[in-house]
Structure 1
Amino acid sequence: MIRPVGILLVDDEKDFAVGLARLLGRKYPDERIRAVHSGTDALSELEREHYGLMLTDLNMPGMDGVELLGKAKAAHPDLSVVMLSAYGTVSTAVDALKIGAYDFLTKPVEPENLFQVVQRGLERSSLLRDNARLQEMVDTYCGPNELVGDSLAIKRLKEGVAAVAESDYTVLIRGESGTGKELVARTIHKLSKRRNKPMLSVNCPAIPDQLLESELFGHVKGAFTGANRDRKGIFVSANGGTLLLDEIGDVSPGIQTKLLRALQDGEIRPVGASKPVSVNVRILASTNQPLEDKIKDHSFREDLYYRLNVLSLTVPALRERREDIVILAHHFLETACAEMGVAPKTLSPEAVACLTAKQWQGNVRELQNFIRRLAVFSSAEIIELGHIRLIEGLDGSTNDEPKGVAPYKDAKEKVVDDFTRTYVEELLSRVQGNVSEAARQSGLSRVALQKILKRLGVEASTFK
């Protein structure tokens, strides 16, 4: 469902503008539609009210459509603008698109064509507004240490996190060890309406099975040997807030049954209690295991899986976002120096190339720990390749990669290729695979962009 974004009509022919407003009003009764009759009035209206879509005549006395387009887009970059003209030519349409118009229509406007263009414009504006709102939420409630990275993979994860945070549904967070699943869970909580309530976490495999039930659901005095007093349990302690069940795939079948009951009924029964206790907790669960395979071998309940997998996020491995290694390394080094209370340190280009070329089997956690060791053992202001060799020797990890560290030139080329691939994929995604528009926005010639796409094996058609 498209949320209303507001439509502004601009045409000095008042009868045409009023008629167009009526036509669109019947088609889109939920939209706020207003007609004005000059560029000046249009700019004033845009200052007073928010509009996502503007249809403007190209030829108007005083301020024409081209001038209005430039001023409106400068003040409101997310505004989608459709140009109207009774003198439509291919060159006119191309010129309008070049200066930032979203689309072009020729008068007299055919209703079917009008509705198609307006529908696409409304969808674009609604999407841009939602993305801006979600980004504002992230900026407001997440500190600078949350979900660091600028790759396409991490951007998509951030969008997913912001989206699922708005609901109260259970979320299953998948990903390899060390990718940051717990960080994703904390970010979801910070963005949710439960942000002012507690968020608690239980590491399921770290607690013996006979104690996990008590840890989760609590117990009453005398329930078992050593139960000298009542214990609330983590479900009750997190009431009103969020509970992360970390590595849910390692929970035994017996605990799975009790968790299923808690998710179905919103009630838990403390060990030894005769009555259930109602709880209001949002459940987040994480796993590094393929739960579908565990269902097949009957070590994980299928009904519990579907209770947990209402919404799902996958945290990418570091090898899938290699262009973020540079950003993460600098971020972790800055943080480590601040934690130790020492002067800030930087990484030399050779050190950056080396870190980027390394295989991080432990993902972000391994990279962070390695950078911490660099900060501790490197007394110099600039960390060089030799410092990395030293840490590898101390770790005994020199032979992890049989061929050693890639040459600087090769490593640099790989970093550039990773960056270029991410850039063009995001660009093509924004322009829906339109190579000409992608070339215009990037400042490259169409031929140059096509050569890049061919070299990287990127098909523009997959983004349409």
Structure 2
Amino acid sequence: MKNDRKYRLLIIDDDKEMVNLLVDYLSKEGFSCLGISNPHSAIELMSKETYDVVISDLIMEGKDGFTLLEEIKEIDPDIAIIIITAFGTLDTAIEAMKRGAYYFLAKPVKLDSLKILIDKAVEERRLREEHKLLLKEAERKFHFNNIIGKSKAMQEVFKLIELVAPTNINVLVLGDSGTGKELVARAIHYNSHRKRNPFIAINCSALPDNLLESELFGYVRGAFTGAITNKKGLFEVADKGTLLLDEIGNMSLNLQAKLLRVIEDKEIRPLGSIQNRKVEVRIIAATNKKLEDEVEKGNFREDLYYRINVIAIYLPPLRERLEDLPILAQHFLEKYGLENGKEVNGFEDEAMRSLLNYEWKGNVRELENVIERAVLLSKTNKISVQDFSLRGIKKDILLFEPMLEKCPTLEELELYYIRKVLKDVNGNKEEASKVLGVSVRTLYRWEKKL
């Protein structure tokens, strides 16, 4: 089977016939091969070019394979080096693996076995490179500089993220639903020394108590009906990384006690097990509840509260930082315009006014949803108010805004409103009088002034 990508192989052997044999076979299998008989030139080549796999003899004139292996590893620590030799012993193979060889093969080499090994090596290298790219993208995406907000409240959030990220302290993130608590938790993780280890998030209100316990601590085979295999809990999965306990205010008192023990002892015990297991996890807790009130009510353990609340980061609701709304809206506009191939480059003034006058009970998450829908519905290069479906908008403010710009008299405002009501009810006097709270006769008298 041919490779879709031409992976690059460097073949080193002072036996020219062996070099030619391997280059010929592996080239036909779809690899890009360079074969050399002088091991001294290998280091110079490795310094100038990038290879995916090196295949090297162990015993060569002028330089042994072990020395060459170490020199190549200094240049590219991730490269797979397959050692081949006619003088192989178990001790030699073990020594080669200790020094960083990917695999050890004895001559004569079975070409199909070598091909399988190379395929495995290049796939593992591809996955490592992909992981590095994903990590870099996550670091870029979740860098606190990429959390949008110019308001004073958000600047304070950024300062706290920068302060706590390099530490190991537990953090409590507070804020209403949709304010971006998980985004802050990820920013803390990806700006810390734990960034190469897992970030795991779980919503404590999404699972029943018994399922949440098994998710967090894991279980052993036979712990309960249906536990046919061992399963690691999220504390073990997140070892050396970060665990976000979202909506921790909904966790039961029973689980709170077990969580407190994990924080204090840095150990977990899977369900059905009699042995504790060490874990080293940073805990970030998040909630939309006032935990002080929950402590007073007896719904949340006071000792746990103080253990998770070493540093608290409060995310204000969107309605309290409206100066951030235009740049958030523009960010989502560009994001969904690009994703959907639509050239939408701004908002009409009335559309932006309607966004600023909306209550945003769902906060930034709701704003993102509204902008995504508007981008899909928009038929022009600017978002209009007709592209929104905002329920509960402060229509009284929107209604009078155009009129207020002209500094009208009270009588002019009154007549403006009457015209608007009559228009909305298609001139029906009885309906209009009900809306205005006056008799039909009074409405007729007012209408003479219109």
TM-score tier, shorter chain, comes to 0.5 to 0.7
1:32-54 alpha-carbon deviations (Å, 9 max, x no partner): xxxxxxxxxxxxxxxxxxxxxxx
- After superposition, the Cα gap between the structure-2 partners of 1:271 and 1:410, relative to the gap in structure 1 and judged at 3 Å, is farther
Return the offset for 1:407: 4.5
The structure with the larger Rg is: 2
Report if aligned partners of 2:144, 2:158 keep a CA contact under 8 Å in 1: no
In the alignment, which residue of structure 2 is the partner of 1:362? 362
Return the offset for 1:294: 1.0
- After superposition, the Cα gap between the structure-2 partners of 1:402 and 1:175, relative to the gap in structure 1 and judged at 3 Å, is same
In the alignment, which residue of structure 1 is the partner of 2:213? 213
1:363-421 alpha-carbon deviations (Å, 9 max, x no partner): 11111111111011112111123333xx24xxxx2x55352526456999xxxxxxxxx
Matches within 5 A, 1:32-51: none
Report if aligned partners of 1:148, 1:327 keep a CA contact under 8 Å in 2: yes
Distance 1:411 1:225 in 2: 69
Report if aligned partners of 1:243, 1:283 keep a CA contact under 8 Å in 2: yes
- Residue type of the alignment partner of 1:246: D
- After superposition, the Cα gap between the structure-2 partners of 1:219 and 1:139, relative to the gap in structure 1 and judged at 3 Å, is closer
In the alignment, which residue of structure 2 is the partner of 1:196? 196
- The percent of aligned pairs where both chains have the same amino acid is 45
- Any gaps of 5 or more consecutive residues in structure 2? 1-137, 406-450
- After superposition, the Cα gap between the structure-2 partners of 1:300 and 1:220, relative to the gap in structure 1 and judged at 3 Å, is same
Matches within 5 A, 1:120-139: none
Distance 2:385 2:141 in 1: 37
Q: Does 1:347 align with 2:340?
A: no
Report if aligned partners of 1:246, 1:286 keep a CA contact under 8 Å in 2: yes
- After superposition, the Cα gap between the structure-2 partners of 1:143 and 1:409, relative to the gap in structure 1 and judged at 3 Å, is farther
In the alignment, which residue of structure 2 is the partner of 1:401? 394
In the alignment, which residue of structure 2 is the partner of 1:259? 259
Distance 1:144 1:275 in 2: 40
Return the offset for 1:343: 2.5
TM-score, length-normalised on structure 2?
A: 0.57
Return the offset for 1:305: 0.5
Q: Does 1:278 align with 2:271?
A: no
Distance 1:411 1:309 in 2: 47
Report if aligned partners of 2:144, 2:187 keep a CA contact under 8 Å in 1: no
Return the offset for 1:340: 1.7
Matches within 5 A, 1:69-84: none
- After superposition, the Cα gap between the structure-2 partners of 1:278 and 1:298, relative to the gap in structure 1 and judged at 3 Å, is same
Q: Does 1:242 align with 2:235?
A: no
- After superposition, the Cα gap between the structure-2 partners of 1:339 and 1:140, relative to the gap in structure 1 and judged at 3 Å, is closer
1:273-312 alpha-carbon deviations (Å, 9 max, x no partner): 0010000100000010011111111111111101100111
Return the offset for 1:328: 0.5
- Any gaps of 5 or more consecutive residues in structure 1? 1-137, 413-464
- Residue type of the alignment partner of 2:238: A
* Root mean square deviation of aligned Cα: 2.3
1:308-340 alpha-carbon deviations (Å, 9 max, x no partner): 001111011112211011000111111111222
Distance 2:180 2:400 in 1: 30
Distance 1:248 1:140 in 2: 28
- After superposition, the Cα gap between the structure-2 partners of 1:232 and 1:349, relative to the gap in structure 1 and judged at 3 Å, is same
- Residue type of the alignment partner of 1:401: K
In the alignment, which residue of structure 2 is the partner of 1:177? 177
Matches within 5 A, 1:328-343: 328-343=328-343
Distance 1:172 1:143 in 2: 19
Return the offset for 1:341: 2.7
In the alignment, which residue of structure 1 is the partner of 2:224? 224
Secondary structure in structure 2 of the residue aligned to 1:205: coil
- After superposition, the Cα gap between the structure-2 partners of 1:157 and 1:411, relative to the gap in structure 1 and judged at 3 Å, is farther
- After superposition, the Cα gap between the structure-2 partners of 1:301 and 1:212, relative to the gap in structure 1 and judged at 3 Å, is same
Secondary structure in structure 2 of the residue aligned to 1:366: helix
Report if aligned partners of 1:260, 1:304 keep a CA contact under 8 Å in 2: yes
Secondary structure in structure 2 of the residue aligned to 1:150: coil
Return the offset for 1:355: 1.0
Distance 2:346 2:187 in 1: 28
